[in-house]
Amino acid sequence: MRLIITEKDNAARRIAEILSEGGASANRRNGVNVYRWGDTRVVGLSGHVVGVDFPEEYNDWRDVEPVELIDADVTKEPTQENIVTTLQQLAREADEATIATDYDREGELIGKEAYELIREETDVPVDRVRFSSITEREVREAFANPDDIDFDLAAAGEARQIIDLVWGAALTRFLSLSARQLGDDFISVGRVQSPTLKLIVDREREIQAFDPEDYWEIFADLQKNGSAFEAQYFYDDDGKEAERVWVEDDADDAYADLTSVDAATVTSVRRRTRTDSPPTPFNTTAFISAASSLGYSAQQAMSIAEELYTTGYITYPRTDNTVYPDDLEEDALLDEFVGAGHFGEDAEALLEQEDITATEGDEETTDHPPIHPTGEIPPKVDLSDDEWEIYELVVRRFFATVAEAATWEHLRVVAEAGGRSLKANGKRLVEPGYHEVYPYSSASENHVPDVEEGEELAISEVRMEEKQTQPPRRYGQSRLIQTMEDKGLGTKSTRHNSIEKLYDRGYIEGDPPRPTTLAMAVVEAAEEFADHVVSDEMTAQLEADMTAIANGEETLDTVADESREMLKRVFEELRESREEIGEHLQESLKADKTLGPCPKCGEDMLVRRSRQGSYFVGCDGFPECRNTLPLPSSGEPQVLEDHCEEHDMHHVKMLAGRDTFVHGCPRCEAEKADESEDEVIGPCPDCGDEHDGELAIKHLRSGSRLVGCTRYPECDYSLPLPRNGDISVTDAFCEEHDLPELVIDADSDDPWELGCPICNYEEYQARTAVEDLEDLNGIGSATAEKLGDAGVDSLAALREADPDTIATEVQGVSATQVREWQDELEA
Task: Answer for the pair 371, 319: CB distance below 8 angstroms, yes or no.
Answer: yes
Distance CA 131, CA 142 (A): 6
Instruction: Indicate the burial class of 455 (C-beta count within 10 angstroms; 0-12, 13-18, 19 or more).
Output: middle
Residue tagged active-site, from 316, 391, 434, 438: 316
Task: Answer for the pair 616, 602: CB distance below 8 angstroms, yes or no.
Answer: no
Task: Report the C-alpha dihedral over residues 321, 323, 324, 330, rounded to 10 degrees.
Answer: 140
Collapse the DSSP code of 298 into the 3-class scheme (helix H, G, I; strand E, B; otherwise coil) and give the result.
helix
* Long-range Cβ pairs for the range 129-132 (8 Å, 24+): 129/98, 129/99, 129/100, 130/103, 131/100, 131/103, 132/103, 132/315, 132/316, 132/368, 132/369
Per DSSP, 299 falls in state H
Neighbours of 277 (CB within 10 A): 11
Per DSSP, 776 falls in state S
Give the amino acid at 139. Answer: V
Neighbours of 56 (CB within 10 A): 9
Cα atoms in the 13 Å half-sphere on the side-chain side of 707: 26
Distance CA 479, CA 387 (A): 23
Question: Please, which residues bridge with residue 513 across strands?
Answer: none
Give the amino acid at 490. Answer: G
Strands 32-37 and 25-29: antiparallel
Question: Please, which residues bridge with residue 37 across strands?
Answer: 40
Question: CA angle 400-405-407, nearest 5°?
Answer: 130
Question: CA angle 214-217-221, nearest 5°?
Answer: 160
Cα atoms in the 13 Å half-sphere on the side-chain side of 472: 15
Distance CA 480, CA 478 (A): 5
Collapse the DSSP code of 444 into the 3-class scheme (helix H, G, I; strand E, B; otherwise coil) and give the result.
coil
Question: Please, which residues bridge with residue 608 across strands?
Answer: 616
Q: What is the per-residue burial (b if ≥16 Cβ within 10 Å, else e) of 251-271?
A: beebbebbbebeebebeebee
Distance CA 475, CA 201 (A): 10
Backbone angles phi, psi at 105, to 5 degrees: -60, -45
Instruction: Indicate the burial class of 621 (C-beta count within 10 angstroms; 0-12, 13-18, 19 or more).
Output: middle
215 is catalytic: no
Catalytic residues: 316
